[in-house]
């Protein structure tokens, strides 16, 4: 079982709702109202969290974006290089 790291973005909600979010993060002033890094044991826990957010936000909007990191090791002309690749799987309500 692999831990899942994700980015949570919330927008279109009042400050009173942001104060009730069950995670620590940062309030933003612009397109988004809130951003946080969240971690889950597995996909089931992540889906439960998304359900709790849908209930709490009442029609507000959020994105929960799992982040996948992987590395590619290359040997170019006797020199080893490591490239980090990131991909985001976007989950909208």
pLDDT tens digit string along 61-89?
A: 999 998 865 555 666 666 665 554 444 44
CB 66 within 8 A of CB 5: yes
Segments of 1-93 assigned E as strands: 4-11, 26-27, 34-40, 61-76, 79-88
What residue spans define the domains of the chain? 4-88
The pLDDT-based confidence of 29 (bands split at 50, 70, 90) is confident
What's the pLDDT at 89?
44
What's the pLDDT at 82?
53
Whole-structure pTM value: 0.70
CATH no. for 4-88: 3.30.70.920
């Amino acid at each position: 079982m692999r831990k899942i790291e994700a980015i949570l973005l919330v927008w279109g909600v009042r400050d009173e709702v942001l104060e009730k979010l069950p995670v620590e993060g940062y309030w933003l002033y612009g397109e988004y109202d809130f951003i946080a890094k969240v971690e889950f044991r597995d996909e089931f826990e992540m889906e439960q969290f998304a359900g709790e957010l849908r209930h709490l936000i009442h029609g507000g909007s959020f994105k929960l974006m799992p982040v996948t990191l992987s590395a590619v090791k290359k040997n170019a002309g006797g020199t080893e290089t490591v490239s980090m690749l990131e991909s985001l799987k976007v989950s909208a309500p």
